[in-house]
Amino acid sequence: MGQVRRLWHPEHNPVLVVNPLRMVEWLRSGCLIQITAASLSGRFGKRAEAVSHQLLKKNWVHFIASDAHSIDGRPPAMAEAYMLLKTRYGQATADRLCIHNPRAAFLGQPMPPQPEPIGLLDEFKSPKRNLFGRILGR
């Protein structure tokens, strides 16, 4: 298996929170995205929660991480995250992000089929187009 590149917790990265589109080139090159389970429910703030859901809606997320540091201080929040994913995005998404993809990575196996990421081909189109470009739709 080739080298696996992962981007850990982009919803906590101040640069990526302000501009998640910076991840487009990384995703195009095969980078896998992991977000923290507790971010989905707002434990790390509204901004991390919003970015997490934005990434999920675009199918840019490959793994949900427990990010547990201890049972008392920062316990795993995987059951809560799984239920939130299942309710909001469906059983298939919850299973893919919490079971199937992590299993494949752990065992060094190929990832199961993934949904098509939204916006990887058109996110960097310049919003400033000249009149000629607007007329021609470019």
Q: pLDDT by residue (tens digit) across 95-128? A: 999 999 999 999 999 999 999 999 887 644 434 4
- Which pLDDT value is given to residue 58? 93
CB 92: neighbour CB atoms within 10 A?
A: 12
34 - beta bridge partners? 8, 63
- For residues 9 and 65, the answer to whether their CB atoms sit within 8 Å is yes
Where does the pLDDT of residue 45 fall: very low under 50, low under 70, confident under 90, or very high at 90 and above? confident
- Which pLDDT value is given to residue 128? 47
| DSSP per-residue letters across 58-97 | TT---EEE-----SSSS---HHHHHHHHHHHH-HHHHHII
Model pTM score: 0.74
**What topology does CATH give the domain 6-136?**
TIM Barrel (3.20.20)
State how beta strands 32-36 and 63-65 pair.
parallel
pLDDT at 43 over 80: no
Where does the pLDDT of residue 14 fall: very low under 50, low under 70, confident under 90, or very high at 90 and above? low
- Which pLDDT value is given to residue 114? 94
33 - beta bridge partners? 7
Strand residues in the chain grouped as ranges (E): 6-8, 32-36, 63-65
- Which pLDDT value is given to residue 17? 66
Where does the pLDDT of residue 31 fall: very low under 50, low under 70, confident under 90, or very high at 90 and above? confident
pLDDT in tens, 52-94: 899 999 999 999 988 756 566 666 678 899 999 999 999 999 9
By C-alpha distance, which of 124, 112, 64, 104 is closest to 88?
64
Residue spans per domain, the chain: 6-136
Q: Classify 130 as helix, strand or coil.
A: coil
Structure tokens at 17: 């929170």
Where does the pLDDT of residue 18 fall: very low under 50, low under 70, confident under 90, or very high at 90 and above? confident
